[in-house]
Amino acid sequence: MNGEYETVKDTRRKGLVALENAYRVVLERVGEDPTRQGVVKTPYRAAKAMLYLTKGYQQSLEDIINDAVFEEDHDEIVVVKDIEVFSMCEHHLVPFMGKVAIGYLPDKKVLGLSKLARIVDMFGRRFQVQERLTRQIASAVEEAIGATGVGVVIEAQHMCMVMRGVQQTMSSTSTTCMLGAFKDDPKKRDEFLALVGISK
């Protein structure tokens, strides 16, 4: 077990060193002096930050759920909204951030509420497009508890639109994913959307 831990630790250390070297090259290529006092430690800091921002690659749904599925005789919609999400656009490697609303119809099983936020964070901490992120969150909730219906709504602002290109500082992007009853039953879908503040 000790040897396995050391191997994982060594792999992470090597990854950090490789990223640090890469960021040093980036500084040079954009015309910065990587030996200047203000940025001499930037490659190390940026490498550590990138590993944190992408830590979702090292996590699995099983690790996140961690036995927080509970038997409960409840078959009405459960909603958690205003979950913050921070992610990185895979096209430009710049951030997007926003709010997530998750609703599900239990089938005798409910999920610890904090686990919904952890699922959002796990998939958010990967290079993403918002459309895929929305579906991954919905599919994970469905898989975790066998819900008969799952709905996810994300509204986010993308820095690739704000800081570059068209520079639309007030724009936001909304995506939805409906599974099971929320896809097949208009009344259930409308009830979920009303609960998260989206009217017909």
Is-contact 81 196, C-beta < 8 A? yes
- pLDDT above 90 (res 64): yes
- pLDDT above 60 (res 140): yes
Q: Residue 177: helix, strand or coil by DSSP?
A: strand
C-alpha 109/C-alpha 112 separation (Å) is 10
- Using a 10 angstrom Cβ sphere, with 0-12 exposed, 13-18 middle and 19 or more buried, the burial of residue 99 is middle
- Using a 10 angstrom Cβ sphere, with 0-12 exposed, 13-18 middle and 19 or more buried, the burial of residue 74 is middle
C-alpha 11/C-alpha 8 separation (Å) is 5
Higher-scoring residue by pLDDT: 109, 3 = 109
Q: What secondary structure, in 3-state letters, does 57-95 show?
A: HHCCHHHHHCCCEEECCCCCCEEEEEEEEEEEECCCCCE
User: What confidence tier does 2 reach under pLDDT thresholds 50, 70, 90?
Assistant: low
Active-site positions read 89-92, 130, 158, 160
- pTM (two decimals): 0.90
Is-contact 151 176, C-beta < 8 A? yes
- pLDDT above 70 (res 42): yes
Q: What is the pLDDT of residues 147-166, one digit of tens each?
A: 999 999 999 998 888 887 77
- Mean pLDDT to the nearest integer, 178-198: 95
pLDDT, the chain, mean: 92
Q: Residue 45 is encoded by which pair of tokens?
A: 């800091």
Q: Residue 41 is encoded by which pair of tokens?
A: 């430690």
Q: What is the CATH topology of the domain spanning 66-195? A: GTP Cyclohydrolase I, domain 2 (3.30.1130)
C-alpha 147/C-alpha 133 separation (Å) is 19
According to CATH, the superfamily of the domain at 2-53 is GTP cyclohydrolase I, N-terminal domain (1.10.286.10)
Q: Tell me, what's the pLDDT at 200?
A: 61
Provide the percentage of residues in the chain whose pLDDT is more than 90. 81
- pLDDT above 80 (res 190): yes
Domain layout of the chain by residue ranges = 2-53, 66-195
Asked if 2-53 and 66-195 have one fold, the answer is no
- Mean pLDDT to the nearest integer, 132-143: 98
C-alpha 195/C-alpha 14 separation (Å) is 47
Strands 69-71 and 109-111: antiparallel
